[in-house]
Amino acid sequence: MKAVIIEDEKIAADLLKSLIGQLDEDIEILAVLQTIEDSVEWLNSNPHPDMMFVDIHLADGSSFSIFDKVEVKCPIVFTTAYDEYALKAFEVNSIDYLLKPINKDDLQRALNKYKNLKGVSQNLNYLNLFNQFMEEAEKMHHYKEYFLVPERDKLIPLSTKDIAYIYIDLKLIKAVTYSGKVYYMNHNLDEMMKQLNPKKFFRANRQFIIAHDAIKDVSIWFGNKISINLSVETEEKIIVSKARVTEFKNWYSF
């Protein structure tokens, strides 16, 4: 059997790969992919595997974006930090999940389910089941509603509803509100994307996370890129690369 791992945390990917090798030496890991962009490129350039292990939240967005761009018919096992009991309600016969940190028993259960399903049917619509899983899981997941941020000699709650964008400035992470007030954050952008609702916030590039409601309009930029204009002034232009324009359009029109 041939498998692909999509996971942006190296330690988690190495652990999963090691456990798979311990449980079934016949499973060949074709690739370990870390981003949405790399995953789409690989899947479009190579024969699809028999099975995929996919982390729901990647540093550059929700892995759901991958399946918007590539039709995947093989079974998918999700790795996630969602609450164990919430996920049990969404288990179906063709999709399993591995709750981080992954253990051997859970992985063995997923592999057994794959083998059982393979013997029952070769024509299951795994993408529809993935969509169902994502819709239900997102309803149960609790994203950050507030961050505690420093202000003078206090820590105050900053509502995510008030954040227009977050960016890196000289290695410092700053959140800017719709009123233009700036707060210093204690998390890097990768960490913050995992805590923010991906329907409301988008990782535009390595420097900016932007809020959906803060977008004023979009300008066509050089090289098939786009420039996002916000209702709040930014010190630099927010450029989305050509490779991620479709992802942005899908997110913005969701």
Give the separation between CA 145 and CA 157, rounded to whole angstroms.
9
φ/ψ of 215, rounded to 5, equals -75, 125
Predicted TM-score (pTM) of the model is 0.54
pLDDT average, residue stretch 65-80: 84
Q: Where are the domains of the chain?
A: 2-140, 146-252
End-to-end CA distance of the chain: 36
DSSP 152: T
Q: Position 64: which residue type?
A: F
Give the separation between CA 130 and CA 135, rounded to whole angstroms.
9
Angle 210-246-77 from CA coordinates, rounded to 5°: 90
| Beta-bridge partners for 150 | 155
Given the candidates 3.40.190.80, 3.40.50.2300, 3.20.20.70, 3.40.47.10, the CATH classification of the domain at 2-140 is 3.40.50.2300
Tokens, residue 28? 């060949």
Could you identify the residue written with the tokens 């350039």? 45
Range in 31-35, 37-41, 125-129, 214-218 with the lowest mean pLDDT: 125-129
The pLDDT of residue 92: 41
The reply to whether 2-140 and 146-252 are identical in fold is no
pLDDT band with cut points at 50, 70 and 90 for residue 51: very high
Q: Is the pLDDT of residue 16 over 90?
A: yes
The pLDDT of residue 86: 46
Buried b (16+ CB within 10 A) or exposed e, 112-128: ebbeebeeeeeebebbe
Side-chain half-sphere exposure of 135, counting CA atoms within 13 A: 7
Q: Is the pLDDT of residue 121 over 60?
A: no
Give the separation between CA 78 and CA 8, rounded to whole angstroms.
13
Query: What residues contact 134, with CB distance under 8 A and at least 6 apart?
Result: 56, 62, 64
What value does the mean pLDDT of the chain take? Answer: 84
The pLDDT of residue 139: 59
pLDDT average, residue stretch 10-33: 94
Nearest to 205 by CA among 103, 89, 61: 61
CATH code for the part of the protein at 146-252 = 2.40.50.1020
Nearest to 76 by CA among 58, 98, 57, 51: 51
Contact of 187 with 174, CB cutoff 8 Å? no
Which has the higher per-residue pLDDT, 139 or 27? Answer: 27
Could you identify the residue written with the tokens 């930029």? 221
Could you identify the residue written with the tokens 């991620």? 244
